[in-house]
A and B are shown apart, each in its own frame.
Chain A
Amino acid sequence: MTKHFIKNTCISQRLTSLLACLLLILLVISEAAIAHGERSQEPTLRMRTIQWYDVSWSKDKIEVNDTVIVRGKFKISKNWPNAIAKPDVAFLNISIPGPVFVRTGSFVNGVNMVNSTRFELGRDYEWEVHLKARHPGRWHVHAMLNVEGAGPIIGPGQYVEVTGDHDDFINEISTITGEVINLDTYGLTNIISWHAFWAVFGFCWLAYWLRPPVLFRRYQAVKNGQGDELICKKDRIVAAIMLSLSITITFIGYQWAESQWPETIALQSASSPVEPLPQPEMAFVKTKLIKAIYRVPGRSMEMRIEVTNNTNHSIRLGEFNSATVRFINPNVGLVDDIAKKYPKHLLATHGLTVTGSPLIKPKQTVTLKIVAQDASWEVERLASLIYDPDSRFGGLLFFYNEFNTRYITEIGGTLSPRFI
């Protein structure tokens, strides 16, 4: 019996370990596989429209009523595809699963972005969105830009955990007329009262006429040519009263509203112009694509590029950033805290290999061979670029000098597949 017990205990311990492993694997897979719809977007849309970088989330765990700020920069690609509507009308949105946060502010280059705006191709913009936690849960928060005619272009996402109770949520603001209101529940009593009133009003009218049995009798009467006799004087009086009440109560309700809220304005709509970030007069670093191929078996993209260093210091290639995936050159590393806190499933910390002349001296032009290799090509479905009608890729290259000064260039062009 003891042997049996020990054997069973060992078995149950093994089973437990196995289950724990499976759970861990599932969790890891779940953690790694989270997105918000962007993986179905065509790679060319993600790689050649908005280049998101320096994206950060100020906190990853907050309570209801606390604020998290999502900020970063984006470059509007100069290689914007012809097939996709240009960002002549665009709106800085945020991709969250419904109003589990409320957006208390959004800005591009310091300009209030409650409205839509226009972005210039090839230019950079700095943005931030303030989110106040409303519902507890573990929510994936993505940067996002909506472009009219193109739809949503989603940036990187990160989990933010919200603790607390939704019942504690308050979203108060003062109106210009001096009233302090809670936007979550504002006007609710009035809404319910008026809607309920009119519903009862309508129901009374219906109930007056429609109490079974009513249809068959009236149907027969109409068929026999006696339909008009179905309407009596009382019915006409009731109708007149209801008509008068409809108009009178509407009028009273309108006047009452005017007296309660005498200062009202129309819905506001406008576009907010925003200047892009300043651009240096000359390009400090120039890059030109010579050739790019994608090796399907190896899940890697190889580029040969020509780099011209117009700065006064030597530079090295630190990163290739495309469609929110960051391929890092481990020899240069993750240079700053923003990079270090980037979502892990989009961060290939050893994803970039540079051969050729890794250290590019001042005023030198060199050819580099770059390999960006990581499973995220497939996980993020970027590799399907080679099967799409438009197989041109795009991305950003980040160069650093010994002082960690960063130079960003855009790269892009045709991507040829290699299947063996």
Chain B
Amino acid sequence: MSNTLPSEPNATTAHIIKALEWILIPTLFFVIIGSFHIHMMLTAGDWDFWLDWKDREWWIVLSPVVTITFCAALHSFFWKNFRLPIGATFAILALLTGEWVVRITGFHAWSHYPINLVTPATFLAGAVAIDAIFLLTRSMLLTAILGAPVYALLFFPSNWAWLAAFHVPVELHDQVMTVADLIGFEYVRTGTPEYIRMIERGTLRTFGQHSVAISSFFAAFLSSLVYVLWWFIGKSFSSLKYIKERI
């Protein structure tokens, strides 16, 4: 077998290849927006839609675990076939594109909700990190053990940079709330009564206000497991199989 890499093709075939890639890459991007977005919005969507759902318990656990799925699937696809460590970033950029378009045109322009109430979470810090870790380790297993936890652990601190402002306390008619709670209360959602919020409701053991760290580490553990599972799901979908029998 030749020990050389494929050359740059000749001028004509290069154009064809380039044209095809310019068609296929955006095609993949839009399909991933669709698939990933519907996956996210119907599993962890409520936490992502609403400012006053971004708590210390559910949001920190669900968001990374639900999103690492497509990151892993695309890692499998891009790495196994192209040695491209871009799966997570590609997937997350697609997701965030889909989310932002609707938050602005749907939630804000159509339904009149302020942008600060419907800001999506960002996952890009973790996405780039897990991509980089994949490249450096070149191992699915090491990425699952090291990269997936990093992805989950970076989630809360990277979002706290913009979210912290909304956890400043205010008082409304003698009741203490966060600014996030207040915005959620004031900007009326007929479909979201207060009781429906699946947020931390207080337990006996919050370990001295370390809820965030506990939730983050739990998310890190779950992300590792989900990463492996979805690596193989991505591999299954990357099937070259043709079926001759009548389906």
Contact = CB atoms under 8 A, between A and B. Distances in A.
Interface in B167-204: 167-183, 185-191, 193-197, 199-202
A201 B175 CA distance: 40
A175 B170 contact: yes
Contacts of B25: 210, 212, 215
Interface in B197-222: 197, 199-202, 211
Interface string A157-183: 000000000000001011111010101
Nearest to A184: B114
Nearest to B15: A213
Interface stretch (B31-39, B62-70, B122-130, B223-231): B122-130
Contacts of A199: 93, 96, 124
Contacts of A222: 80-83
Contacts of B179: 175, 181, 183, 186-187
- Candidate in A96, A135, A250 with the most chain B CB atoms within 10 angstroms: A250
Interface residues of B, number: 98
Contacts of A221: 5-6, 83
A239 interface: yes
Contacts of A101: 188
Contact of B161 (A184, A219, A224, A254): A254
B115 interface: yes
Contact of A236 (B100, B124, B136, B177): B136
Contacts of B166: 186-187
Given A103-B186, A261-B168, A266-B211, A250 B158 contact: yes
Given A243-B129, A250-B154, A264-B164, A114 B113 contact: no
A235 interface: yes
A114 B183 CA distance: 11
Nearest to A105: B173
A187 B165 CA distance: 7
A265 B122 contact: no
B162 A194 contact: yes
A105 B83 CA distance: 57
Contacts, number: 313
Interface residues of A, number: 100
Interface stretch (A59-67, A144-152, A358-366): A144-152
B135 interface: yes
Nearest to A148: B195
A-side binding surface: helix, strand, loop or mixed?
mixed
Interface in B16-37: 17-18, 20-22, 24-25
Contacts of B181: 114, 267-268
Interface string B94-135: 001000100000000001111110010010111111011101
B116 A188 contact: yes
Contacts of A112: 172-175
9 contacts: A99-B113, A112-B174, A116-B194, A146-B193, A199-B124, A239-B131, A249-B125, A264-B178, A267-B55
Given A90-B193, A90-B195, 17 more contacts: A95-B190, A98-B112, A98-B188, A103-B188, A148-B196, A187-B116, A199-B124, A227-B83, A239-B135, A243-B132, A243-B136, A246-B126, A246-B132, A253-B160, A253-B161, A264-B169, A269-B197
Interface of A: 89-91, 93-96, 98-105, 107, 112, 114-116, 134-135, 144, 146, 148, 152, 171, 173-177, 179, 181, 183-188, 190-191, 193-195, 198-199, 201-203, 205-206, 209-210, 212-222, 224-231, 235-236, 239-240, 242-243, 246-247, 249-251, 253-254, 256-258, 260-261, 263-271
